[in-house]
């Protein structure tokens, strides 16, 4: 019995030891390392060790990687204490790495994928954005006095809500807000069937128009909008496919926060005429004017969580005197905390580079708009704008000669800082792998 107790105590002690070692900072540094590592040729990754580790490697092609300067002829590498593991990509392909503490305890599985770097021309140009939505967006509901002298609220009675996109009325596709008003007034007060899009779901409802006492028109008790416009910044131009990306965040309706479903739109050259300096609690703003139709740059084909995208009309339209040739898009593993720069247009002198610091990098396995935190450090830019201001959304972030991402949002209480999104996520939105507010409306909501 005594011997059994001794074995039990030894077993508990060993379990506690393993538990303590596994959750030690030395092991957790490896556990927290990304499970998927994307690298390009010419890059390398150093993984430090402070405990004995065995690394088992599986690869279809032994020439994909070198580990510590050696090819993958050996399936298992014994890693010594205080000796880093150096991973060097050699050619496109993939490999799987399995880390075992003392060669026994599984610590982490990691896949390494070697890819060819994607190259793009960085932007920084101020652009004017004009966008027309599919259907009519409900931005508000209201009540009004009908010809019977009573107050009516048809929208509330039918269940119509702000944020709803009216796509059809009586099975007719809605072209714009004026078209919806025409249909409502053509049926002389009869109920109208509306097909709407609400939170990505299609639903139908019936609403009975009421004639307004003052305007003598049939109304639904809603305010709608079908277009928006504003100033932003181009992030990149991919010359092989003539595709651009801009803003880094979606265009949403300023009243409802709804991501606008686009029918069509264009980007044009914009001239910055003034800057409203950003201060704590009060975001600043670039004030710009759109140039004439001859200055059209391209169309808008997609409005997504990670920016707007479309095709450029001609290569000659997009110029950047700072970068004559495309530069590589940085992989997550290449992005480091520290000095970087952004390209932006904040006056009439065109695109300029300004110093920033990448404060933190959020390693992400799936797209998310809060990939980076950046801080403006350039004294010239701070003097001009106070930090990040509305209109700078999309400003490309460059580090070590590679496009890292785009500035997307400003911190309201610290305008020197803001979020950025990885360029990788923007490119994947267009099928290429590798608080700044929404633009303000130029067309007022229409009541009906």
The catalytically annotated residue of 158, 164, 195, 249 is 249
Q: Specify the pLDDT at position 199.
A: 81
Which residues of the chain fall short of a pLDDT of 50?
1, 75, 81, 435-448
The catalytically annotated residue of 164, 176, 378, 436 is 378
Q: Specify the pLDDT at position 437.
A: 32
- Total-model pTM: 0.72
Q: Specify the pLDDT at position 439.
A: 36
326-383 confidence digits (pLDDT tens): 999 998 888 999 999 999 999 888 899 999 999 999 988 788 889 999 999 999 999 9
Domain boundaries, the chain: 2-116, 120-129+227-429, 143-220
Contacts of 254 (CB under 8 A, 6+ apart): 228, 437, 438, 440, 441
376-401 confidence digits (pLDDT tens): 999 999 999 999 998 899 999 999 99
Return the number of other C-beta atoms located less than 10 Å from residue 120's C-beta. 26
The fold adopted by the segment(s) 2-116 is Immunoglobulin-like (2.60.40)
Domains 120-129+227-429 and 143-220 share a fold: no
Residue 378 falls in the annotated catalytic set = yes
Contacts of 360 (CB under 8 A, 6+ apart): 337, 372, 373
The catalytically annotated residue of 40, 158, 341, 393 is 393
Q: How far apart are CA 12 and CA 32, in angstroms?
A: 27
Q: What is the dihedral of CA 253, 259, 264, 266, to 10 degrees?
A: 70
Q: How far apart are CA 245 and CA 247, in angstroms?
A: 7
Nearest to 436 by CA among 409, 397, 401: 409
Q: How many DSSP H helices and E strands does the chain contain?
A: 6, 34
Are 370 and 377 spatial neighbours (Cβ–Cβ below 8 Å)? Answer: no
The CATH number of 120-129+227-429 is: 2.40.10.120
The fold adopted by the segment(s) 143-220 is Pdz3 Domain (2.30.42)
Are 235 and 351 spatial neighbours (Cβ–Cβ below 8 Å)? Answer: no
Tokens of 320: 């950047």
């Amino acid at each position: 019995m005594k011997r059994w107790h001794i074995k039990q105590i030894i077993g508990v002690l060993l379990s506690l030891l393993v538990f303590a070692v596994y959750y030690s900072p030395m092991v957790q540094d490896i556990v927290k390392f990304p499970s998927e590592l994307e690298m390009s040729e010419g890059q390398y990754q150093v993984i430090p060790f402070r405990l004995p580790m065995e690394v088992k490697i599986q690869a279809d092609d032994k020439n994909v990687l070198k580990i510590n300067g050696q090819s993958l002829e050996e399936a298992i590498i014994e890693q010594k204490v205080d000796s880093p593991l150096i991973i060097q990509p050699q050619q496109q392909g993939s490999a799987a790495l399995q880390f075992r503490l003392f060669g026994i305890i599984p610590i982490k599985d990691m896949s390494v994928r070697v890819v060819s770097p994607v190259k793009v021309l960085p932007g920084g140009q101020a652009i004017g954005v004009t966008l027309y939505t599919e259907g009519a967006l409900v931005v508000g509901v209201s009540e009004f006095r009908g010809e019977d002298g009573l107050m009516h609220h048809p929208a509330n009675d039918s269940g119509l809500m702000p944020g709803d996109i009216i796509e059809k009325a009586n099975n007719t596709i809605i072209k714009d807000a004026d078209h919806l008003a025409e249909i409502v007034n053509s049926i002389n007060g009869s109920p109208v069937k509306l097909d709407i899009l609400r939170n990505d779901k299609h639903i139908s409802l019936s609403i009975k128009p009421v004639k307004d006492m003052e305007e003598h028109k049939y109304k639904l008790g809603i305010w709608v909008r079908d277009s928006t416009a504003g100033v932003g910044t181009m992030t990149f131009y991919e010359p092989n496919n003539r595709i651009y990306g801009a803003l880094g965040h979606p265009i949403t309706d300023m009243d409802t926060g709804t991501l606008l479903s686009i029918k069509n739109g264009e980007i044009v050259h914009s001239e910055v005429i003034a800057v409203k300096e950003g201060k704590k609690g009060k975001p600043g703003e670039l004030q710009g004017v759109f140039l004439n139709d001859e200055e059209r740059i391209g169309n808008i084909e997609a409005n997504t969580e990670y920016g707007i995208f479309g095709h450029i009309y001609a290569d000659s339209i997009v110029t950047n005197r700072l970068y004559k040739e495309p530069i590589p898009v940085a992989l997550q593993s290449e992005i480091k905390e520290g000095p970087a720069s952004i390209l932006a247009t904040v006056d009439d002198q065109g695109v300029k580079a300004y110093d920033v610091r990448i404060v933190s990098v959020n390693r992400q396995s799936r797209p998310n708009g809060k990939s980076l935190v950046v801080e403006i450090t350039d004294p010239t830019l701070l003097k001009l704008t106070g930090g990040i201001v509305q209109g700078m959304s999309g400003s490309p972030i460059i580090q070590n000669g590679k496009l890292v991402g785009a500035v997307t949002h400003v911190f309201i209480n610290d305008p020197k800082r803001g979020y950025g999104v990885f360029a990788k996520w923007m490119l994947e939105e267009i099928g290429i792998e590798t608080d700044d507010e929404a633009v303000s409306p130029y067309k007022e909501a229409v009541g009906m």
